[in-house]
Amino acid sequence: MAGSSPWVIYSGTAEIVLVVVLMAAAAAVAYAGLRLPLPARLPMPGRAAKIVMVAVWVLAIVALLASVAAYETQVHRAGLAHPPRSDPIAPVTLTGAAVLFVAIAVMQKARGWRVALGSAVIGAAAGPWIFEVPFDLIIMPRTHPVIDPRLYLVLLYGPLILTGIMTVALLSLSPAATLRRATLWCLAGMLAVYAIWGLLGFSYPSAPGPVTLNTVSKILALVTALTLFLPQRARAGASRPAQAAAASNARADVV
């Protein structure tokens, strides 16, 4: 945004708390990946729940766009607008989302073009938001809008985070989405990278260190989404009865 500014870095006690919380979250997610009975299908919402989810998602996007437009108008009227900072991560996000879309569509083509296309759209949309939701929660307390900070902090970040949560929740609409151990481990890896970034104060990605950590965590978020759509592998236990039945039929034919 034209009136935006980089967030204030974490330091002192706040930095220590941030790193500890992120490491604890990463450890908890990794432990869940070890202990939960996975893989497991994501819960499929009913028709009414689907309508509510999509409606909330659309309203959140509309509210976000309206809040951004109102904020930009106020900033320009006050003469506080300045060029937005460069974003070296945007090409990574766009390229990664495009690759994610193609990869999911190819992996799910056996289910038919509707499931493959729908899963690819939802997965490519949700991937960046897996990164963005915790990222926004981290920087929100350190961000200070130049116009009405208390008001616009809520008006901007509220719809933004709600949009992210609802976009990730849309993954449950795909019949192909399956939670796997790799999903949780990739998510834990992303949170661990956040913790390392926290050791640098979670500073704006302009120096090589924060740019690298931002890029790595973004890639891990995209891979997290990708693991939800990996093709199902035949289970050895499920194939044994079929093999036994085939062998029995063969013996019967010989007799």
How many whole angstroms separate alpha carbon 194 and alpha carbon 10? Answer: 13
- Is residue 31 one of the residues assigned to a domain? yes
Judge whether 253 lies within some domain: no
Tell whether 45 is covered by a domain: yes
Q: Could you tell me the pTM of the whole model? A: 0.85
Distance, C-alpha 18 to centroid of its chain: 20
7 occurs within a structural domain: no
- Based on the structure, what is the number of domains in the chain? 1
Is residue 202 a part of any domain in this protein?
yes
What digits encode the pLDDT tens for the residues 23-39? 999 999 999 999 999 99
* Residues 170 and 53 sit within 8 Å (Cβ to Cβ): yes
Q: Is residue 40 part of a domain?
A: yes
Tens digits of residue pLDDT in 35-78: 999 999 998 899 999 999 999 999 999 999 999 999 989 888 88
Determine the structural domain holding residue 189 and report its residue range. Answer: 12-231
Classify residue 198 by burial, with Cβ atoms within 10 Å: 0-12, 13-18, 19+: buried
SS3 141: helix
Is 3 within a domain? Answer: no
38 found inside a domain: yes
